[in-house]
């Protein structure tokens, strides 16, 4: 009897556990009956189903991310550009989503990716390179989201947003553009250098001219001052000589002696009675 009760309890537990399912927030559930979809609007919460007859699949209803690899597109000017983008999407009609993708998220993104790429290609084909670069995150994005959402509706998917991460020129075109930019920058740099050299030479010539003028004026003033000083010195010497000619002669002799014997090794061969030794002899002789 006890074994029978245990078996009944276990059976009831298994029955209840297989009859109850939970749909959490940010999830959406699809109820199947004998493999056919019978309900797609199951809200979050605890729900019941018929064991062995009914089955439930739970899907993520949050916004998901599709990150694509960069791909080459052609502008209206027939210029190639490499565009790297990502898209935000979510399940809109869960029944259609399951029917078209079998509820496989990877398969859904594989089918969504070409739809977005085709919409992006059409948008870039209608714009020049300049418009594509300047419009990439504003007007073009709005049109791109609308077009991609229309195409993804058949998958039960809503495209929430498409963002362009970067737009690059192809490698071979980029190298050509960079070479032209380098040449242009080099030309501008050489032009600036030549202008700098010209300005430098002009400044240096002006400075040299001003230097010569300043030196000439300084030399002129110096000559004038020297002349005035020499004239004043001559005047003073003449006045002093006029007051005491003998003292002046004595002073001049001392200056001569100092100049002649300054290094201490001078040798002079002169007559002792020479006028040069006038003041070396008897003081009375100078009279």
| 91 and 162 both lie in a single domain | yes
| 47 and 141 both lie in a single domain | no
What per-residue confidence (pLDDT) applies to 10?
A: 65
pLDDT tens, residue by residue, 255-280: 776 776 676 666 666 566 666 666 65
Is 190 a domain residue? Answer: no
| 136 and 92 both lie in a single domain | yes
The CA distance from 200 to 77, in Å, is 47
| 72 and 88 both lie in a single domain | yes
Residue finishing a domain among 10, 45, 60: 60
CB 169 within 8 A of CB 82: yes
The CA distance from 71 to 166, in Å, is 11
N- to C-terminal Cα separation, the chain: 173
What per-residue confidence (pLDDT) applies to 203?
A: 93
Residue finishing a domain among 169, 202, 236: 169
Determine the structural domain holding residue 281 and report its residue range. 252-286
What per-residue confidence (pLDDT) applies to 169?
A: 74
What per-residue confidence (pLDDT) applies to 206?
A: 92
What per-residue confidence (pLDDT) applies to 89?
A: 92
CB 16 within 8 A of CB 46: no
CB 41 within 8 A of CB 17: no
Per DSSP, what are the bridge partners of residue 45? 23
| 56 and 88 both lie in a single domain | no
Is 228 a domain residue? Answer: no
Give the CATH number for residue 70.
Answer: 3.30.479.30
Map tokens 């240096």 to a residue: 204
| 70 and 165 both lie in a single domain | yes
pLDDT along the chain (287 residues), means of 10: 66 64 82 81 79 82 88 85 89 87 88 92 85 69 88 91 82 67 87 91 91 92 90 80 69 71 65 61 49
Count of CB atoms situated within 10 Å of the CB of 124 = 24
| 48 and 121 both lie in a single domain | no
CB 87 within 8 A of CB 128: no
What per-residue confidence (pLDDT) applies to 16?
A: 58
Dihedral sign (CA 105, 107, 108, 110): positive
The total domain count for the chain is 3
Is 69 a domain residue? Answer: yes
What per-residue confidence (pLDDT) applies to 287?
A: 45
| 74 and 47 both lie in a single domain | no
Is 29 a domain residue? Answer: yes
Is 80 a domain residue? Answer: yes
The CA distance from 255 to 188, in Å, is 71
Is 95 a domain residue? Answer: yes
| 19 and 53 both lie in a single domain | yes
Is 7 a domain residue? Answer: yes
Residue finishing a domain among 169, 193, 216: 169
| 142 and 55 both lie in a single domain | no
Is 265 a domain residue? Answer: yes
Residue in 76, 98, 71 with CA at minimum distance from that of residue 86: 71
| 163 and 73 both lie in a single domain | yes
What per-residue confidence (pLDDT) applies to 285?
A: 46
pLDDT tens, residue by residue, 40-89: 778 888 877 777 787 888 888 889 999 888 888 888 888 888 888 899 99
| 103 and 165 both lie in a single domain | yes
């Amino acid at each position: 009897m006890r074994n029978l009760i245990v078996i009944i309890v276990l059976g009831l537990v298994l029955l209840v556990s297989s009859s109850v399912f939970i749909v959490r927030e940010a999830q959406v559930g699809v109820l199947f009956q004998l493999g056919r979809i019978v309900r797609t609007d199951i809200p979050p919460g605890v729900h019941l189903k018929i064991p062995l007859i009914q089955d439930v699949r739970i899907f993520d209803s949050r916004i998901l991310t599709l990150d694509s690899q960069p791909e080459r597109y052609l502008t209206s000017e027939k210029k190639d550009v490499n565009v790297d983008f990502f898209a935000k999407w979510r399940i809109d009609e869960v029944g259609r989503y399951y029917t078209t993708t079998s509820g496989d998220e990877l398969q859904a993104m594989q089918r969504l990716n070409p739809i977005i790429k085709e919409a992006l290609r059409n948008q870039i084909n209608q714009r020049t390179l300049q418009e594509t670069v300047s419009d990439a995150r504003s007007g073009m994005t709005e049109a791109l989201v609308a077009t991609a959402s229309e195409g993804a509706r058949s998958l039960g998917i809503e495209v929430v947003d498409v963002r362009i991460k970067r737009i690059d020129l192809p490698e071979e075109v980029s190298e050509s553009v960079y070479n032209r930019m380098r040449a242009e920058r080099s030309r501008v740099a050489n032009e600036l250098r030549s202008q700098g050299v010209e300005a430098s030479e002009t400044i240096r010539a002006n400075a040299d001219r001003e230097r010569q003028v300043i030196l000439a004026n300084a030399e002129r003033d110096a000559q004038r001052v020297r002349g005035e000083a020499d004239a004043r010195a001559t005047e003073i010497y003449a006045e002093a000589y006029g007051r005491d000619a003998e003292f002046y002669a004595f002073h001049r002799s001392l200056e001569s002696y100092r100049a002649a014997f300054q290094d201490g090794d001078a040798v002079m061969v002169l007559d002792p009675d020479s006028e040069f030794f006038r003041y070396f002899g008897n003081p009375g002789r100078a009279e």
